[in-house]
Amino acid sequence: MSIASTAESEINSWSSSSVDESFTPINDIKEVIPLISINNEQEVHRVAYKTLQQCIDLLRCLPSDDKYTYESKFIPSSTIGKHVRHLYDHFRLLLESKQLKEKRKTSDGNISDYDDQYYEEQKDESKFWIVNYDNRSNNIPVETLRLTAIKRLEQLQTTIINDCTFIPFNTQIRVDVTVDSEMLMDPIPFQSTYGRELWFCCHHAIHHFALIRVICAEQNIVVPEDFGIAPSTLQKRYKMEHNS
C-alpha cells in the first residue's frame, strides 16, 4: 500500500470525537476589495487576499510552534511550516520582485511601461519583470515561527491591496524555470502575464493547503471542509448537491 493510501486510510479511521484542536476561522474578514467585483482583476486580487487569509486563520489557531514544526509521518520531511514558507515564497517572489519595487518608487501608479511589451522588443533590461520561483529561501523564521509567518503573510496582503490592484492582467512577465536537475544549464525563460502568475500562486497555495490538511489530521487539528480544495472542485460539488 502506498504512503498516500496508508495516510488516507488512517486519517479516515479517526472519529470526530478524537479531535482536540479546533480550527475557528475569523468570520468577519474585512472585505478590503469589494465582494462584488467590477472586473476580473479585482476578483483575482480579492481571491489572492483571501487565500492568504485562510492560511493566517489556520496559523492563529495552532496552539504552539511545536504543531507548526511537527514532521509528518506520511509526507517525509514535511511540516506545516515548510509548506507555509514555500507558498509564501511564491507570492513574495512575484509581488516583491525587484522590477515591481522599482516601479513603485518611480511611478504614480501607471504601470503602462509593461503593457503589451514583448521582451525581445525591449532594449532596457531594467523594464523586464522577471520572476524565478526557484530563488526560494530555506530554514528561515517563517518556516519555524508561526507568528513570524502570520506577519509576513499580512505584509503580502498589504502589498496586494496597496501596490498591485492597478496592474493590468496582460502585463508581460518572464518566468525563468529550472527544468532538469541533472542538466547544468541556465534557467529556461517562459513568457507569461501578471494575471496568469497571480492565479498560479493562488492555485499553488491551495494544493499545499491540501498537504497541510493531512499534517493537521495527524495532530488531531480540525480544518474547514473547503480548506485545500480547489475552487473548481467546490463548484462541482455545489452543483451536484443542488441538482440531485
Kindly report, residue by residue over 164-178, the tens digit of the pLDDT: 988 899 999 999 998
pLDDT in tens, 4-61: 444 444 444 433 333 344 555 544 444 555 555 468 888 899 999 999 999 999 999 9
* β-strands 172-177, 130-131 pairing: parallel
Pick the more confident residue, 47 or 120. Answer: 47
The secondary structure of 180-241, three-state, reads: CCCCCCCCEEEEEEHHHHHHHHHHHHHHHHHHHHHHHHHCCECCCCCCCCCHHHHHHHHHHH
Q: Is residue 28 part of a domain?
A: yes
Per-residue pLDDT of 217-233, as tens digits, reads: 999 999 988 888 877 78
**All 3 cell numbers of residue 194?**
501578471
In a domain, 51, yes or no: yes
pTM for the full predicted model: 0.76
Query: Is 214 inside a domain boundary?
Result: yes
The residues near 102 (Cβ < 8 Å, ≥ 6 apart) are 126
Residue 240: partners with Cβ closer than 8 Å, 6 or more residues away:
none
198 in Cβ contact with 48 (< 8 Å) = yes
What is the model's pLDDT at position 234?
A: 75
pLDDT in the model for residue 202: 96
Residue 8 lies in a domain: no
**Residue 125 falls in which region: left (phi positive, over 0), alpha (psi -120 to 50) or beta:** alpha
Structural domain contains residue 91: yes
Q: Indicate whether 232 belongs to any domain.
A: yes
**Do 113 and 100 meet the contact criterion of CB atoms below 8 Å apart?**
no
For 98, the domain range is 19-124+136-167+195-243
pLDDT tier, 122 (very low <50, low <70, confident <90, very high otherwise)? very low
130 is a domain residue:
no
Q: How many CA atoms lie within 13 A of 34 on its CB side?
A: 7
Query: Tens digits of per-residue pLDDT, 90-118?
Result: 999 999 876 666 666 655 544 444 443 43
More confident residue, 243 or 34: 243
Number of domains in the chain: 1
Asked if residue 97 lies in contact with residue 59, where contact means CB atoms within 8 angstroms, the answer is no
Order of strands, sheet of 188-193, starting from the edge strand that comes earlier in the sequence: 130-131, 172-177, 188-193
Region 188-206: mean pLDDT is: 95
Query: Per the domain annotation, does 236 fall within a domain?
Result: yes
